[in-house]
Chain A
Amino acid sequence: MKIMGISALYHDSAAVLIEDGNIIAANQEERFTRVKHDSSFPYKAINACLEQSKTGIKDIDVFVFYEKPYSKFERITETIYAFAPKGFISLKEFVKGWSLKKFSFEYNLKDLDINPKAEILYSSHHLSHAASAFFPSPFEESAVLTVDGVGEYSTTLISKGIKNDIVPLKEIRFPHSIGLFYSAFTYFLGFKVNSGEYKLMGLAPYGNKSRRKNDFKEKIKKEIMDIKKDGSIFLNQAYFEYCTGNKMINEKKFFNLFGFKKRLENEEINQDHCDLALAVQELTEEVMINLARTARDIANSQNLCLAGGVALNCVSNSKILESEIFKNIWVQPAAGDAGGALGAALGAYHIHYGKERKLTGYDKMKGSFIGVEFSNDEIKKSLNKFEAVYDFIEYKDLVNLTATLLAQGNIIGWFQGKMEWGPRALGNRSILADPRIDDIQQKINMKIKRREGFRPFAPSVMEEFVEEYFYPAVYSPYMLFVSYFNGRYRNILPDGYENMGVKGKLEFKKSLFPAVTHVDFSSRIQSVNQETNPLFYGLIKEFYKITGCPMILNTSFNLRGEPIVATPEDAYRCFVKTDMDYLVMGNFFIERKKQKYKEEIDLDKLND
């Protein structure tokens, strides 16, 4: 039975193909349209899944949408009723954006030549998240916690997964939402809603554990978010406008409460911003831990599966892990709405059709390498199109050469095998460097990503070395947990570190691996396993042989504001546009100095 799950028309659209419960292909639309967080109907991702698995659209037996459109519509109407006469602007915005294409799954499917006998199903938003977390997990039974902005009505759902079933138990409903709370402060601190939440999390460690921060926390708890013992929350709507207007917050009320204005996008970040970020992060962790405890109590399990946008908050994930409420935690790598496509498909297969779920002891994500793949022939074709100069090198030598060049301080684009599913690059669409080099973080930020970064990069560590270098030793194949560098690798902090400000703290060399160490010595690690990605593991191992360092810096292969590269063409164009020294694609080795094109390639001119 072939099932295609689709998430679309809200945040990140994606398509996933499963066959008899096995994940065959999974792709996010943004990678092909090159529009970050693209929410349009994922025609390109659907095509990619079909091509990748050599399946015809007519062979698909079932199409499943990841949420229930009418329920969502009903929630919007009820919100208008609840806030009348205040909701005029939100109604206007809603009607303005309305079109059949935007709301009807079936209408969109009409553009595809699907089998008329194919069944069309609808999951629900949080059930899709829950299914994406539980069904691919290695657990036979588990508590499942899904937390995001909002689906139909739910903003948080606690359920219990048993074998091939999920039983929803308790929920928090709109407008009380941890995701929206976090997004509201993301907005107030000058970052983009739906994509800047990562920045807020990255900014938090710059906050000082000071009275100022505690003050912020008290104010938020008293005025904005009441946290109940069981992890449920009440958001005081006087401070928000997402129900009634087209903005996240009431800026005037925020100003009155915190004493400073919303930060503008290019405005410098000051200590107040950092302290507030820390306050918001700590409160989110408090809520998540309370929720985790409730989930354990009512689902009565030692395992936890997590998904939903808030589960991308690796700091809060780690806090749950450290709290030891659960013995085991598994997080869906595409925890955001793209992951809903996977959950919808798996949910339909196991719950609706009642099909058995086979356990293997491992998770079923295949290292999250389930996206599009390109053969050497295809790569060669793209390279020739750009008149690229390249060498074909056998893998054994290629790995050795790459590791040597990394050790010499070069920045290298690494494009191999199947594209990662989820927002993180895990070693198949990555930019790599030596994490021990002092200024490599700045160099990558300025010359490659073209941004002013205050967040360190992530290290990819050989799994067996995690314990030696980090505490706690977490198994984190998808970069969804943080860990701290052990004392012997840290440098001693200077007096007055707290008052050094963002720039001072950023530039101070905090450990022997400065490019991957955050200001609080934390690191968003990826533990790399030999079996799930032998080539990438082999590369790190080679680097270790040369340098004695079992980790490399790994950042996603893209420019600021662009999605991660999907095709060899994207990768080559990104490579020439930036100051990356080398590019390795499949067996092809490409040296920057030898290339004809040195800057952005104008595709129109090329085609003339």
Chain B
Amino acid sequence: MTDLEKEKTKILISLGIGFAVLYVILDKKIFIYLSVLSVFLSITKTKISFQAVNYLKKIFNFIQNLLFGILIFSLYFALLFPVSFFWRLLNKEKFCYFLRNDKETFLLEVKEKINFKNQW
């Protein structure tokens, strides 16, 4: 097998697995077809299989991005956004420092002691 073929097989098999996972998560039959198609193409040596790699990769990336976006979107609005209200209430000074130009100086006293032990 040439390097190119190896690479193709690797990509197609991972795509096959990826689509299978998507099928399990989303329960849409299209993904199982795409998964089978990927695995099938990975064992053939046609020219199409090389071109198909690119298209499949694009489709997969698109769906992955979309799902990722939805996930972050929900995380953001379900968790971080509501928490931000509490944060603002409890850290009024910090919040104003970010956005309000209402002080003579933006130099702050350094309160933390130097330490080399922890990561905070």
A residues within 8 Å of B by Cβ? Answer: 64, 68-71, 74, 77-85, 87-88, 91-92, 95-96, 121-124, 127, 157-159, 166, 168-173, 175-176, 226, 228-234, 236-237, 243, 294, 347-348, 351-352
B80 contact from A91, A237, A351, Cβ within 8 A: A91
Which B residues from 98 to 117 make CB contacts under 8 A with A?
98-99, 101, 103-110, 112, 114, 116-117
- State whether B108 touches A228 (Cβ < 8 A): no
Residues of B with C-beta under 8 A to A91: 72, 75-76, 80
- State whether B116 touches A122 (Cβ < 8 A): yes
- State whether B118 touches A122 (Cβ < 8 A): yes
A81 contact from B68, B72, B84, B119, Cβ within 8 A: B84
Is B81 engaged at the interface, CB distance under 8 Å to the other chain? Answer: yes
Question: What's the Cα separation between A170 and B109 when bound, in Å?
Answer: 5
Question: What's the Cα separation between A87 and B72 when bound, in Å?
Answer: 11
Residues of A with C-beta under 8 A to B88: 81-82
Is B62 engaged at the interface, CB distance under 8 Å to the other chain? Answer: no
- State whether B116 touches A123 (Cβ < 8 A): yes
Closest to B98 in A: A82
CB proximity of B17 to chain A, nearest CB, Å: 20
- State whether B99 touches A96 (Cβ < 8 A): no
- State whether B94 touches A88 (Cβ < 8 A): no
Closest to A233 in B: B106
CB proximity of A9 to chain B, nearest CB, Å: 13
Question: What's the Cα separation between A351 and B114 when bound, in Å?
Answer: 9
Closest to A294 in B: B107
Closest to B97 in A: A173
Residues of A with C-beta under 8 A to B91: 78, 81
A78 contact from B68, B87, B110, B120, Cβ within 8 A: B87
How many chain B residues sit at the interface, stated as a range, is: 35 or more
- State whether A175 touches B98 (Cβ < 8 A): yes
Interface centre among A71, A81, A171, A231 (most CB of B within 10 A): A81
Closest to A226 in B: B101
Complex A-B, nearest 8 residue pairs according to Cβ-Cβ distance, in ascending order: A84-B84, A232-B106, A81-B84, A81-B87, A168-B110, A121-B116, A352-B116, A232-B107
Which B residues from 59 to 82 make CB contacts under 8 A with A?
68-69, 72-73, 75-77, 80-81
Question: What's the Cα separation between A161 and B110 when bound, in Å?
Answer: 15
- State whether B99 touches A169 (Cβ < 8 A): no
Residues of B with C-beta under 8 A to A124: 114
Known: A85-B81, A168-B114. A71 touches B97 (CB 8 A): no
Residues of B with C-beta under 8 A to A159: 110
Question: What's the Cα separation between A80 and B98 when bound, in Å?
Answer: 11
